[in-house]
Structures are given as C-alpha cells and as structure tokens.
Structure 1
C-alpha cells in the first residue's frame, strides 16, 4: 500500500504553524500509534474551536502521515490561505451546489490512492452547550462504507479553551498557557454495514458508531461522562420555534 509523501508545501505549512503552536500551547497527546503506517484511511474528529484544524494537524503531522482535510470552498478564495490549502492537497466542500458531490469523489480517490482524509463529521462547531459532540452528518460514514477503509476516531480538547466556539467579545484566551489534548483510538468496526445498501438509516447507524467512539475518547480526556442524549441542533431550533410560537399566541 502507498502513502502520501509530506512534500514541500506541507513542510512549509509546518514551518509556519509549529513555532507558535509550540510556544503558545502545551501538548498531551495519546494514541499516535493508532494512525496507520500505510494505506488509505479516515480520521474522524470532534469540532469545538476554529483552532481545531491546527491542533489536530500538528498531532497527525508528527506521526508522519499528513491529513487531507475537507474545508469550506470559500476558504480556497482567500489569497494566502487558499494557496496553502490547494498546495497541501486539502479538499474543498461545496455545499448545496451542483459540485456538492466533488468532495465525496475526491475523498474516495484519495483513500484509494493510500492517503488519509480527515473528517469533522459534525460539519461545523458543536452547538452542544457543554461542547460535547452533537448529531453528525453522514459524509464520513458514506466514504468509509464505499472504500471499506479504517476509520480512526480522534478526540481533542484544549483549543476550545483558547478560542471558544461562538465566543463574543474577546476571541482568544491564551493565558494561562493551555494544553492541547488529542487522543486517537482503535479503528471503528463498521464491517457489519459493508454488505448492506447505504440507505439513510444505515448511514445514520454507521455515523452514530463513529461519533460514539469519538465521544468515548473525549470522556477519557475530560474525565466525565457525556450526556445520554446527543445534542441535535435541528431539534433544538424546532423547540425554540415552538416556544416562540407559544409565547406569541399568549
């Protein structure tokens, strides 16, 4: 099996990003040995800070296997950022357009070529009030079942303490120096889904398996149990609308 070479542009990105990460943060990393040495695979990571991609990429870069992350297509239009994203092989995601399937095809092609594709299955920063993983989208499961590749769950915590999600006012809180905690686990066993049609129900079940593995790792990092009920942002919005309607009708 082949593996993606790190290459000039990824090394340049590391030269730019690693010094401030090393200066500003402490690190508590576990499970680097869980990252496959060869062949294509998926990593699935929780998302609770805009700094997550740097925190996670630093962890995996040090394993010798560089990730290809799925990033919003709009970021590729930002001059310097777009240049770095393109040259390091990141995958643009076009939402609700005729190009929406391009990211899926690119992810499958990358895995079949022996590369790692990193997914944030939630699709955006978690809306859970306590920053636990919320109900996720099915993209990672769809690619995993199409390729039958290993899916390595990864949990991270700490970047959100330095740059909280949806923060108002001060965006950064760097002092005292925060610790970036990253933990990779054993690949999620999705073999029971392989011979089933990838219906919405099957994809949801596979996604729940992936997210349960991520949440279990995050419980280890945080030293506490996640809520029994996974936060569903759609249901939360629906409840807010119902409440608003009830208040209006009074």
Structure 2
C-alpha cells in the first residue's frame, strides 16, 4: 500500500505561486521558523491565529516560501463564489459551513485528509479574532477533536501585521486600503512554531480532553505570536479601528515566555 502523501493538485500549486505575486507589492512578508523535516510528508495540523481578511493570502504565500502545501479549512462562502469556489474545490481545500447544520461535516473530512497523509491548515478561533489587544481568542474544539481522530500533531503558527494591509471591514473601502498598502508596504510576519503542542497530558472524557487540548493549542499560538510582537504586548502599533472589540471570548493571558501550565 502506498503510504506517500497525496499529490498536490495543479490548481493549489498555481495558487501558491499566485499568492507570492499578489503579496509582494502590498507588504514585506517575513517568514520565520519552519515545519521540521520530521513532520513533513506525514499528517500534520497547522493551527494559526486570524487577524485580518488578508490572512489566507499571506498564509498561502508563506506556505509557498516554506515549501509546504497544506489543505485549508475555509468558510463555505468562498466555495459558493463562482470563480473562487471552483478554484478552492480544484485545489482540494475543505469546506466549513459555519453556523449551519452542516458545520460538523468538515471534521470527518479533515480527519480523513489527515489519515490520507495530508497536512491541514485551520484557524481554531473560527473567525477573525476580536480580542481588543489582538491576541488569540478562545478557540473552538474542532482542531483538538481533529487531532484526536487522526492521531496528528498540531504545530502552532502565528501571523502578525496583515491588519495593516486589509482591515476588518474589508471588502468595504477595499480600494483605499489597497492603495494605502501599496504606498506603505507594511511588514507582515508569519512564524511557524518550534515544536508541536504537547497534548499527551490531557485527561478525562472526550469532551474534557478536547477543551484541555484546545487551551494548550491556543497557548502555543499565543507564545508563537508573542515572538512577533515584542514591543506590542499590550497595544498594537497599528490599530484597526474598524474592528469591533468583543470581550466574550478573551483568553486569560500570562506573561510571554512563561511555561504553559496544564489545565
């Protein structure tokens, strides 16, 4: 039986290159860290924070730079668009119909992709985060459940600065935002974590384990992000004033660099 990872569809390879072309005039992309060699070519979940509508394009460009091609869990609305939807399906990405009866369908689809040897990228927050200080929010448990179903490790990924290219309100005032980005070319960072999140100590029922694992995954993303914003630990240098703050999903924060405590 062939255990090699699935072949990357041509459309996804094209989109990876296209993202680098799109990103170049709009920002200065800086990619740090990498996916360790021992995690390549095997099931792996990349769990990233979400700060801007520009994130998926930035992350695609960063993946091309890192020489990886994960399948992405993306909102169903993109799949319904005439051109983008066809491209997403041809690229092999996975649809997530949030706030519908079909939202649970994405979990077994992603777990099967992982069991088939794919790398999968997901935003555990399930939306652009609305933490007032732009730290990761409390995550949804889908990523932890996906990891448990497929037996796949979770590598945290952090991105920072894309909100200076496209603000939360996009597509409203899209043209002024693009013109401003073309003029300023802000620095946008993507950092791949140093190691997978250690989930070996979670205990209890399946639900309790998912909640504990989710907290650890979000802690891992938080620590990876902290390395990208050392002078912005409280208030970001660039403030997206179109972003409505929401305190309902704010996570307790600890000083950066403190070890992750078990729940």
TM range, normalised to the smaller chain? Answer: 0.7 to 0.9
| Counterparts in 2 of 1:232 and 1:23: CA distance versus 1, 3 Å | closer
Q: Would you say the 8 A contact 1:150–1:188 is kept in 2?
A: yes
Q: Would you say the 8 A contact 1:107–1:143 is kept in 2?
A: yes
Deviation, structure 1 residue 86: 0.3
Q: Greater Rg, structure 1 or structure 2?
A: 1
Q: Give the one of 194, 197, 200 matched to 2:205.
A: 197
Q: Give the one of 61, 64, 71 matched to 1:61.
A: 64
Structure 1 residue aligned with 2:226: 219
Matched, 1:49 2:58: no
Q: Would you say the 8 A contact 2:156–2:220 is kept in 1?
A: yes
Deviation, structure 1 residue 147: 1.7
| Counterparts in 2 of 1:225 and 1:150: CA distance versus 1, 3 Å | farther
Structure 2 residue aligned with 1:239: none
SS in 2 for 1:234: helix
Structure 2 residue aligned with 1:11: 13
Deviation, structure 1 residue 127: 0.7
Deviation, structure 1 residue 225: 7.3
Q: Would you say the 8 A contact 2:16–2:63 is kept in 1?
A: no
User: Using the alignment, how far apart are the partners of 1:60 and 1:206 within structure 2?
Assistant: 25
SS in 1 for 2:125: coil
Gap regions ≥5 residues in structure 1: 237-250
Structure 1 residue aligned with 2:261: none
| Counterparts in 2 of 1:3 and 1:226: CA distance versus 1, 3 Å | farther
Q: Would you say the 8 A contact 1:32–1:60 is kept in 2?
A: no
Aligned length, in residue pairs: 231
Gap regions ≥5 residues in structure 2: 235-244, 251-263
| Counterparts in 2 of 1:226 and 1:134: CA distance versus 1, 3 Å | farther
User: Using the alignment, how far apart are the partners of 1:232 and 1:118 within structure 2?
Assistant: 25
Cα shift readout 1:150-193 (whole Å, capped 9, x = no counterpart): 10000011211111224675544303111221111110011223
Q: Would you say the 8 A contact 1:42–1:118 is kept in 2?
A: yes
Moved over 6 A (4+): none
| Counterparts in 2 of 1:235 and 1:157: CA distance versus 1, 3 Å | closer
Deviation, structure 1 residue 113: 0.5
What pairs with 1:123-162 in structure 2 (closer than 5 Å)?
A: 123-162=126-165
Cα shift readout 1:10-47 (whole Å, capped 9, x = no counterpart): 12213433212123221221111437221111000000
User: Using the alignment, how far apart are the partners of 2:232 and 2:184 within structure 1?
Assistant: 26
TM-score relative to the length of structure 2: 0.80
Structure 2 residue aligned with 1:94: 97
Q: Would you say the 8 A contact 2:17–2:64 is kept in 1?
A: no
TM-score relative to the length of structure 1: 0.84
User: Using the alignment, how far apart are the partners of 1:7 and 1:74 within structure 2?
Assistant: 21
SS in 2 for 1:66: coil
In terms of fraction of residues, the more helix-rich structure is 1
